[in-house]
Amino acid sequence: MSKVKRDKEGIPDNAIKMTAGLSLTEKCNLKCKHCYIGEKDLWFEKGYKPKEITIEQIEKLIPKLHQVNVKRINFGGGEVPLHKDFILIAKKLNNAGFDIGLTTNGTTFEIYRDYLHLFNDIGVSIDFPDERHSKWRGRKNVFKRAVKTLEKLVESNIRTEMNTCIMNVNYETLPQLYKLAKDIGVDMWRLNRFHSSKNDALRFGADNLPKTKGCRINNNLSCSIEQLKETFEYLASVTPRNQNYAIPDPLFRTYVNGKGVVRGSPSGKIAFRIMSDGGITPNVFTDQIAGNIFSDELSEIVQGEVFSQYQKRTPSGKCIGCASYNNCEGGDKTDSYLIKGNMNSPDPYCFLDTKKRNDFKSIKFEDTKFVHETYLGTIYVPIKNG
């Protein structure tokens, strides 16, 4: 009998490769209207102090990540470079062999300008094609700074993404945003549809939130089904027929007959988030905390009951008999949970023809180039080589 090959950490070569989101800090220098982390006015009102992970905790965290075969880490926030030990932590994780992605608002470039070699890719958020972006994020000149940061990253030949959150207030500007991405020359345009998260409900308890806010943050920004369909139609028009990259968003992947690393969404299957207090969640937008990385065994957390809901979904409603179910597996579980309160409910934004069959096309984890190809339910549109 041949021996199972293992890597230097003792992990079998055929073990599932995973991606972890890491929220080093909840601190941020902006006040974005669509922030999924939490509403800053509510934090101030309740005297809440943003949490962050220490460099000492990172040293304890690294071996636990290796044990569950994490290969990639995405720094999300807060604005992560504001952490006082950001560069030291990035160095430690880089030296430990992780591919690191950074998602940033583009205003902190000077902090990591001389350390670009530590990152696999860097994505800068731009949600409007002009100064409306600055007004939306609550600070002057944010748009110009974000564009300038992307231009410098492109000049440095690092893998770059322009990141856009799809909302009912900006979906009509996507053609202009696409042109902006082209003008800057980024590698990829990464888009995520807006999710009205439960992070403040998790933080303060749903019963302690003002009734006007409810459990979910800024739920008035979600697109309608018709608006999302219009968005998908446009994005499909600028998506190449032959793709050499993964599209994690299960609905859009099915719509354009694209490729994916896993069926359905990566969340809870090959991806999870580490919150700033060490909490582990399969989905950063929900209130589902499965354990704490500093007090519990990570291997047990990712195999536990909370994660199993993402790994074993049962079709219901329009998903029963859908010709493409084995590809999208009911769509994005995020809104099934947030809006319908049922993980097995069909994605409430699904408009796909259930009679049209688009089979799952697999792409290997190691053949993807960007961290988010194996992380959130993301839409990718290639720009530089599209």
- b/e 90-112 (16+ beta carbons within 10 angstroms → b): bebbbebebbbbbbbbbbbbebb
The one-letter amino acid at 196: S
Tell me the pLDDT tens digit for each residue of 69-91. Answer: 999 999 988 999 999 999 999 99
Residue 338 confidence (pLDDT):
87
The pLDDT of residue 213: 53
Instruction: State phi, psi for 344 to the nearest 5 degrees.
Output: -90, -5
Ramachandran region, residue 155 (left: φ > 0; alpha: ψ -120 to 50; beta: rest): alpha
In this prediction, residue 207 carries a pLDDT of 78
Find tokens 């995020």 and name the residue.
334
In angstroms, the Cα distances linking 17 to 23, 74, 248, 347 are 20, 14, 15, 26
| Residue among 202, 203, 222, 200 at smallest CA distance from 212 | 200
84 near 381, Cβ under 8 Å?
no
Query: Tell me: the pLDDT tens digits for 21-75?
Result: 999 999 999 998 888 888 888 888 888 898 999 999 999 999 999 999 999 999 9
Q: What gap in Å lies between CA 241 and CA 180, rounded to an integer? A: 22
- For residues 368 and 258, the answer to whether their CB atoms sit within 8 Å is no
CB atoms within 10 A of CB 161: 28
Instruction: Name the average pLDDT for the chain.
Output: 92
- pLDDT of 14 strictly over 80: no
Q: How far apart are CA 191 and CA 126, in angstroms?
A: 10
Instruction: Give the separation between CA 160 and CA 157, rounded to whole angstroms.
Output: 8
**Per-residue pLDDT at 117 exceeds 80:** yes
Share of the chain above pLDDT 70, in %: 94
Residue 33's CB: how many other CB atoms inside 10 A? 14
Lowest mean pLDDT among 205-209, 235-239, 326-330, 371-375: 205-209
Report if pTM > 0.85. Answer: yes
Measured CA to CA, the distance from residue 152 to residue 144 in angstroms comes to 12
CA nearest 382: which of 195, 217, 228, 256? 256
Q: pLDDT tens-digit profile of 155-173?
A: 999 999 999 999 999 999 9
Q: What is the full DSSP assignment across 170-188?
A: TGGGHHHHHHHHHHHT-SE
For residues 259 and 254, give the distance between their C-alpha atoms in angstroms, rounded to a whole number. 9
- Per-residue pLDDT at 11 exceeds 80: no
Q: Is 305 helix (H, G, I), strand (E, B) or coil?
A: helix
